[in-house]
Structure 1
């Protein structure tokens, strides 16, 4: 029940004039405000709270203990701007605390006055000068060698954690425009659990695997069922992919049409930004973890379900962008493709 200031003041006044009797307050309250016999009156807890507030603050209304609202004056706007420019990676709450203004005023200044937005950091593979040259060479070779109508199955693996994926929500950069800031980190090790092969005609997979068994017992039979004729096959340079036994098997299956480290057309290391599978894993993980699987069986079932629902037009668009990415990689000197990383195309 929300009581008015008049009702609270009457209850406090009656409490002191009736020898601190709560029952007397309730009876007088019912009579004065003409409340029906079964109508609500203040309980003892409410009366005690109003009396305590009056004794300590001189008011029957509890005053807010929080910081008062800060007016977004020009000096505050300038102070926020200078603070953000000095430390753009600090959170808005930390800036507000340091400047002694409310969080709400901080957000209002950032958005309405400075027109700043928070941008996520993007973690990418660190590239050496040798990597840059390799990426350019491979892009040029693919553009010269790969026929325009070639049907390519791009393959890759990804590790799906039951607990979800890495949360980068707190990796922000406050600025008036996107600084397109990359946070480069070395790649230590790959943890592989799920394999898929993507092409413009469909996806083969997912497969939870050992690589050799997957190629012989899953990928080859699935490919034969599709009756596609000659196809190209792409894989990255993971050790399981380029082992002697794996390469022997793949060369026999794709004679002259193997895109891989030590294949017919090389594939540069540290280049996940140039394969359509990068689109697949980003999209698939976002969809899979919306289901919040609680065990490995549920996780695998959800992966199967979401892969089956991917539309062919999405695959066609992903492969259609592949040659565009090759051209962009050669034009920017082999560096990471920021238009892809920041999703501006």
Structure 2
């Protein structure tokens, strides 16, 4: 932030014009499993280990409802090195619910340092979703949420692409 100084001889009430979009953001969780887009789920504005654990306990299994049980039993949970993912209570939960089948900081399989685009969400989903969401300016946080939901509907209907994304991910690792 910069200080603004207005020097004037006559009007002591200077006005600094600005024409920028109000800044707002949301935290979105989503995943890709067996060619299915899971989510999106709008997370709380302030994320920490406790709020992320609440998501894992209260929302994750509802989101995975359409994934066949056999796939859920064998799937891996992957997340990056975000601070809320690294909390001890989160790692303990993952060790209990995804024993030896999760990837993250201090997990059974460590999150590779300096590899932000390794997972399918980073190298496909988020970029494609942002293209759809930000195709025109957004004026409110509610509009942003609606656009994220709409983008998910568009992406969800392209299962072939989601399957190719997973195949590409497997080739990369």
TM more than 0.5: yes
Among 188, 198, 201, the alignment partner of 2:35 is 201
TM-score by length of 1: 0.38
Shift of 1:270: 2.1
Which residue of the partner structure matches residue 245 of structure 1?
89
The 5 A counterparts of 1:139-158 are none
Hey, what's the Cα distance between the residues in 2 that align with 1:290 and 1:300? Answer: 14
User: Higher relative contact order by CA 8 Å / sep ≥ 6: 1 or 2?
Assistant: 2
Among 95, 98, 101, the alignment partner of 1:257 is 101
Alignment size in residue pairs: 140
Structure index of larger Rg: 1
Shift of 1:259: 1.5
8 A contact 2:86–2:106 mirrored in 1? yes
Hey, what's the Cα distance between the residues in 1 that align with 2:170 and 2:67? Answer: 24
8 A contact 1:198–1:315 mirrored in 2? yes
The 5 A counterparts of 1:219-230 are 219-229=60-70, 230=73
1:58-77 per-position Cα deviation (integer Å, ceiling 9, x unaligned): xxxxxxxxxxxxxxxxxxxx
Hey, what's the Cα distance between the residues in 1 that align with 2:171 and 2:68? Answer: 28
Among 118, 126, 140, the alignment partner of 1:281 is 126
Which residue of the partner structure matches residue 331 of structure 1?
none
The 5 A counterparts of 1:1-345 are 193-209=27-43, 210-229=51-70, 230=73, 231-278=75-122, 279-310=124-155, 311-326=158-173
8 A contact 1:260–1:266 mirrored in 2? yes
Shift of 1:285: 0.4
Between Structure 1 and Structure 2, which shows a larger proportion of helix residues? 1
SS of the residue corresponding to residue 165 of structure 2 reads helix
Hey, what's the Cα distance between the residues in 1 that align with 2:139 and 2:26? Answer: 20
- Structure 2 stretches lacking a partner, 5+ long: 1-20, 44-50
Shift of 1:163: 5.7
1:17-74 per-position Cα deviation (integer Å, ceiling 9, x unaligned): xxxxxxxxxxxxxxxxxxxxxxxxxxxxxxxxxxxxxxxxxxxxxxxxxxxxxxxxxx
Aligned structure 1 segments of 4 or more residues deviating by more than 3 angstroms: 161-164
TM-score by length of 2: 0.72
SS of the residue corresponding to residue 64 of structure 2 reads helix
